[in-house]
Structure 1
Amino acid sequence: MPATSDNFFATPGGLLQLGLETAFFSLQGTDAHIFSGRSTISERRELEPRWRIATFIGGLCCELHRALTHLIVTTAAGEEWPAFLGGLLAWLEQRGTDRYFVRWRAQAHETRGVGLFALPHIVPAPVLQMLGSGNAVIVPHLMASIAGIPQHREHNVLDELVRRSLALVIDRNLLASADRYGKPQYGSHLERYLVDAFRRLTAGHSAWTPNRDKSRLWLGPEGLFLIWPGAAEDVLKLLENDQLAGIPKSPHTLLDICASSRWGNPWANRCVRRR
């Protein structure tokens, strides 16, 4: 199945290719990180290989939710694949068909947590048991990464590597697609990073406490307003520190992405207000 209808990795098999490339770069990134830095040498010897396997799985399954939330698969007769009941291949074999058709759900929302439902179809239970044996950290960090659950109070190195690799892989694919098919469609895959940046700033940045002197956030009867471009500069600085590929450098570009996202046009009015 493709990953998107007309954007990145839109060709047949694109979803698998996206997962494999992200998994590869995520695994490659583990060479420069020590996950169990506070553990003893003998404990690290046991845990580090598991962290590497978990990071590979995190990259492989980072966009798994798309198969369940973004597209509808049918046979030539119009029978729809019940995605929550089992895998596509077994379902097609039961019906004796070797062809299927993909339709895309209109305005599908990114619900990454759904990917956890399909995880057992890809990762056998003994593998998860091996990853969680003797520790209570690896599997929770893996699950949080796949589900897109932020862990602001606990540094999730695994998710950091997957996020960085995913941004790199998508950016590379968009540039390659531009060479083959014309102008790439930037921005749609950046929403998750922008939302996460807004959450992190409101949770831990003093300048993002609402209605304080020189605050980036102001809450009033008409709604919540961001002071622009100051808020954009904070967001871009945060994402730059994350070393994510493809992040725009201009506050104006960032505003365009927000205004054209699924959040809708209210951003166009609420981001540009200055004080």
Structure 2
Amino acid sequence: MTTLVDRLLRKFNLLPKVVVAASASSALAQVKRIEDLRNIPRYPPFMEGLPVHAPWVLLTTQKELTGGIQQLIANQELLETHYNPAMLRLATLVQLLPASQAHHHRGAGGMLRHSLEVGLWSLQQTEGKLIRGVVTPQQRRVIEPRWRLTVFLAGLCHDLGKVVTDLTVTDRENSQKWRPYNQSLYDWAISHGIENYFLHWQEGRGKKHTHVSSTLIDAVISKETLDWISDGSTDALIWLTESLNNNPGSSNQIHNFVVRADQLSVERDLKSMGAAMAGYEIGVPIERYLTDIMRRLVQEGIWRINEPSARVWNIEGITYLVWPMAGEEIARRTRDEDIPGLPKTPDGILDMMIEREIAFLREAEGDPFFYIAPDVITEKIPDMRLKAIRLRDQALISSMPIPPISGQIHSSKASSQNVPSTSVEHVERAEEMPPQPQHVSSTSVERLSEKCLSLDSLEGAMGELLRVLIGEFNLGKKSFADLGVKDPNGCVYLKWPDTFAGYGFTPKQILTELSNMGWMIPASEVAKIGDAVFSSGVAKAIKLTADVGRLFVVDDQPVSEATEKTAIDTVQPSSSLSADSIAEPVAAEVSTSAIRKPAQKARTKANPSDAVVTKPKLPVISSHSGNPNASVSTPIKTRKGKPIEKTD
């Protein structure tokens, strides 16, 4: 019914002339099924239920946990007979049920995940533990594997009672109800043709599940396993039922393992996926995107943990990320995946992490970063310190506990440079010298035009390693004359892998890090390592950029004489070269008319290894630049005076 007021309001355009209600009714009348609206978000959300999946598929999603269990048990027969069947039966029983309604592991699959975590971490605690009352080696061989299996099963089954006391499961129409004592959830769903099942939480459930968990062990633990555990002694079975009922006796030797593992699992989940992310369910959950990226970097092995060249360090229980290298790798992922809402630069990511309290900087005055010195590195390189930020909790980046290692935390990297004051002055003096006129390639020009590096600006593990290496050259602990050579362009060749021996880094780590930092020039498109002429002759070498090379200034060879050494450069591959010719080095043309001053001659007598020094006039000569049939033979003299014939 239209009133006079309505007509007046429409006349003055204060009400729409089309009746909205009528149009809405006609639109809804065309919708035949509620599924047509499922793509439109609404509150409360549509109830979809949890899907049914094969048990082995569910275990595949928890590979890091099942794999950890398999690594702890060396006996393959035990795994296949007792451990693996128990995990499979658990997945058959609980499917994707959550472990709680609004607390820990509250998402789909939470109960399976939580049970596997507690089982694994309970089992880990038995490593190196002795069983009270077991005296002889014969007793230990029989009882220990049964005891460890019992500990694992106690952790695996500790929450089984929740499927009875905490919730009920039905089909969509609520016409079929799952009865846990009758059959597993998977078997029930398959027998009734149910694709999605629905949960109904019980009120006032409290901790009632602890009283009935032991009544369901037959659903997870086979009779064969129970029989094997009880062979020789029934103590393990008694401890198992006591632990599941949360009523351990004074002699129980498994319950405390389960309690600690359960507490750890709950704590880590609340920090990583539970309470730590509360309040971000609506909108773009950028913290979840960020933690997901960091977790993937760890899982994929890009971020190593607690080892040389690692990005993640747990020093005395506090987790650190090496910065800015970790930030650059996060930023690369955000750019590649074009994730909305996440910064695309390391600085932007750091600001966001600090703002959201995912990570922290130092609050004291001075340098805001932490400088960590893990013992595993300082044992090899005493003064190495890594710039880092402190992570709020390790659970943000790893679902598995990261073991702590020993180390020191410093407020600055002042003492990380093993370089005496005279060496620093030497470097500064060399930086003030005007550049010598020389021909460089376009690639070298681009590199030299970049921002000049200094010892202080060398970042990360490789930066610290180079800083220590330069310091050892300057202190005479290592001989640059034996291990290094600088070409006319300022690039430095370092003998490979001799130069980097004893620092605790693998060759792969060194090559990868130097390449990622842009400090190394590959020998060719197919190889990072080439050849160079050192005092002892031709040897394998890696080539550092001129920007890094300018930092290698040693007392016995200042920059003005650095070009007296010779090097073999690698021919850049072209379409006219074969794969074999790409790998062939081309000798530098040198002059044998080196003239030394009297003082230098006296020094030559004192040090026979410096007998002959030759000056290159051209850094590279390629036989392919002229007549392809021509053969150029160039003698190269080493410091020992022995010519090397190279035919291009």
- Indicate the TM-score class for this superposition, using the shorter chain for normalisation: 0.5 to 0.7
Q: Which residue of 1 aligns with 2:213?
A: 115
Q: Percent identity?
A: 28
Q: Distance in 2 between matches of 1:175 and 1:32?
A: 29
Q: Which residue of 2 aligns with 1:2?
A: 98
Instruction: Tell me the SS of whatever aligns to 2:265.
Output: helix
Q: Distance in 2 between matches of 1:125 and 1:30?
A: 24
- Give 1:136 deviation, angstroms: 2.0
Q: Which residue of 2 aligns with 1:13?
A: 109
Q: Which residue of 1 aligns with 2:182?
A: 85
Contact 1:8 1:173 in 2 (8 A): yes
Q: Which amino acid aligns with 2:269?
A: N
Q: Distance in 1 between matches of 2:151 and 2:180?
A: 26
Q: Distance in 2 between matches of 1:123 and 1:16?
A: 15
Q: Is 1:162–2:294 an aligned residue pair? A: no
- Give 1:178 deviation, angstroms: 2.9
Q: Distance in 1 between matches of 2:234 and 2:194?
A: 44
Q: Distance in 2 between matches of 1:35 and 1:77?
A: 52
Q: Which residue of 1 aligns with 2:277?
A: 180
Q: Which amino acid aligns with 1:141?
A: W
Instruction: Give TM-score scaled by structure 1 length.
Output: 0.63
Larger proportion of strand: 2
- Give 1:36 deviation, angstroms: 4.1
Two-structure CA RMSD over aligned residues (Å):
1.5
Which of 241, 250, 265 aligns to 1:143? It is 241
Q: Which residue of 2 aligns with 1:33?
A: 129
Contact 1:51 1:138 in 2 (8 A): yes
Q: Distance in 2 between matches of 1:175 and 1:41?
A: 43
Instruction: Tell me the SS of whatever aligns to 2:127.
Output: helix
Instruction: Tell me the SS of whatever aligns to 2:200.
Output: strand
Q: Distance in 2 between matches of 1:124 and 1:150?
A: 23
Q: Which residue of 1 aligns with 2:166?
A: 70
- Give 1:175 deviation, angstroms: 1.2
1:92-131 equivalences under 5 Å are 92-111=189-208, 112-131=210-229
Which of 216, 219, 232 aligns to 1:134? It is 232
- Give 1:149 deviation, angstroms: 1.6
Q: Which has the higher contact order (CA 8 A, sep 6+)?
A: 1
Contact 2:239 2:248 in 1 (8 A): no
1:252-267 equivalences under 5 Å are none
- Give 1:50 deviation, angstroms: 0.8
Q: Which residue of 2 aligns with 1:187?
A: none
- Give 1:91 deviation, angstroms: 1.1
Instruction: Give TM-score scaled by structure 2 length.
Output: 0.27
Q: Distance in 2 between matches of 1:32 and 1:41?
A: 14
Q: Is 1:52–2:124 an aligned residue pair? A: no
Q: Distance in 2 between matches of 1:101 and 1:80?
A: 10
Long gaps (5+) in structure 2: 1-96, 281-648
Q: Which amino acid aligns with 1:96?
A: G
Contact 1:72 1:81 in 2 (8 A): yes
Q: Distance in 2 between matches of 1:144 and 1:68?
A: 19
Which of 22, 32, 46 aligns to 2:118? It is 22
Instruction: Tell me the SS of whatever aligns to 2:102.
Output: coil
- State which drifts further: 173-182 or 65-74: 173-182
Contact 2:122 2:155 in 1 (8 A): yes
1:169-208 equivalences under 5 Å are 169-176=265-272, 177-182=274-279
Pick the structure with greater CA Rg: 2
Q: Distance in 2 between matches of 1:157 and 1:116?
A: 17
- Give 1:93 deviation, angstroms: 1.0
Q: Which amino acid aligns with 2:236?
A: I
- Give 1:182 deviation, angstroms: 4.4
Q: Distance in 1 between matches of 2:128 and 2:262?
A: 17
Q: Distance in 2 between matches of 1:61 and 1:36?
A: 24
Contact 1:36 1:47 in 2 (8 A): no
Contact 1:61 1:119 in 2 (8 A): yes
Q: Distance in 2 between matches of 1:132 and 1:9?
A: 33
Contact 1:36 1:44 in 2 (8 A): no
Contact 1:36 1:48 in 2 (8 A): no
Q: Distance in 1 between matches of 2:189 and 2:267?
A: 33
